[in-house]
Chains A and B, each alone.
Chain A
């Protein structure tokens, strides 16, 4: 079956360091991958979109990569801050949008 997986349930990073989250997909190649942030008690909020023919996308302190050979997307937050603590979701986006389980990121002051 077509799967999208975020293998790390939780990640603790020291403030100021770069946080790197991983998203893997199997058995197909999505045309797009999307990344969302979700805070407790709130709906997910869109952050970034990357197309399969793009290697990298940046937005302020955020960077997303798309490696079709490894079937993997990496999501980076540079100069991390405690306010970046949240759950981050990746999603494959074709004719429908299917989410991974998410990674809970804790930025430690």
Chain B
């Protein structure tokens, strides 16, 4: 089966610019996650969708980050304006459902550098 697709693979921007990341989850997966992974750290959950509704966005810096999942399939994550500390890998993951026994399937991530 096709995996989780993410684009772009790399992005370099200057601070205060905006950027958007795209994710296409595995077909049929109801739950979609965006994680931020800073170098040397574990993935930090930013937002979790169940179909097209937000389940958890408690760690999302809502003054600058936004995310949507239209029609319960693809998702975009946007940062506006970007700060230096946003430099990280942004990982998208999906799972069949949101139960704790469901394993996550990750994309390869988007590596963001903010200069």
Contact = CB atoms under 8 A, between A and B. Distances in A.
Interface of A: 6, 9, 30-32, 34, 36, 41-46, 49, 51, 89, 93-102
Interface residues of B, number: 25
Contacts of B101: 32, 49, 51, 93
Contacts, number: 61
A96 B45 CA distance: 9
A101 B40 CA distance: 7
A49 B102 CA distance: 9
A97 B100 contact: yes
Interface of B is mostly: loop
Given A43-B91, A51-B101, A95-B100, A101 B41 contact: yes
B45 A98 contact: yes
B105 interface: yes
A76 to B, nearest CB: 20
